[in-house]
């Protein structure tokens, strides 16, 4: 996210380890919203006719251990690390062992 209207060179990049929706509002006060789970018990008139309530086998809400990565930097003084972080998330180091070598 970068505010081009304020002639700012500050950029905020948020990444995580799964597909996800989000939005940013740059008005005052600036906010960033990330939607990890949509869980409502009644209709919201924006999609399904009933509520959305994903539960596990015990009837509790689904838990997800998501990892978030945030970088705040000045584009005039540095560069984005987004691509490097993306590769670290999608292609973690792999270890191979040969015991009978």
Distance separating alpha carbons of residues 34 and 44, to the nearest angstrom: 18
pLDDT for 14-27, tens place per residue? 888 877 788 888 77
Overall pTM surpassing 0.85 (yes/no): no
Q: Tokens 């015990």 — which residue?
A: 58
In the predicted model, is pLDDT for residue 34 greater than 80? yes
The CA-atom distances, in angstroms, between 67 and each of 8, 19, 47, 57, 61 are 28, 12, 28, 24, 19
- Residue 25 CB-half CA count within 13 A: 7
pLDDT in tens, 47-92: 666 667 778 889 888 877 888 888 888 888 988 888 888 888 888 8
Regarding beta strands 68-74 and 10-16, do their DSSP bridges make them parallel or antiparallel, or are they unpaired? antiparallel
Q: Decide if 98 contacts 74 (C-beta within 8 A).
A: no
**Cα 32 from Cα 24, distance rounded (Å):** 4
């Amino acid at each position: 996210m970068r505010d081009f209207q304020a002639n700012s060179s500050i950029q905020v990049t948020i990444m995580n380890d799964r597909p996800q929706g989000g939005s940013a509002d740059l008005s005052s006060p600036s906010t960033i919203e990330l939607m990890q789970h949509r869980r409502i018990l009644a209709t919201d008139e924006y999609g399904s006719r009933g509520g959305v309530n994903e539960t596990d086998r015990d009837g509790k809400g689904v838990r997800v251990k998501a990892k978030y990565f945030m970088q705040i930097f000045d584009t005039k003084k540095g560069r984005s690390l987004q691509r490097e972080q993306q590769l670290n998330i999608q292609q973690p180091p792999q270890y191979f062992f040969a015991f009978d070598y």
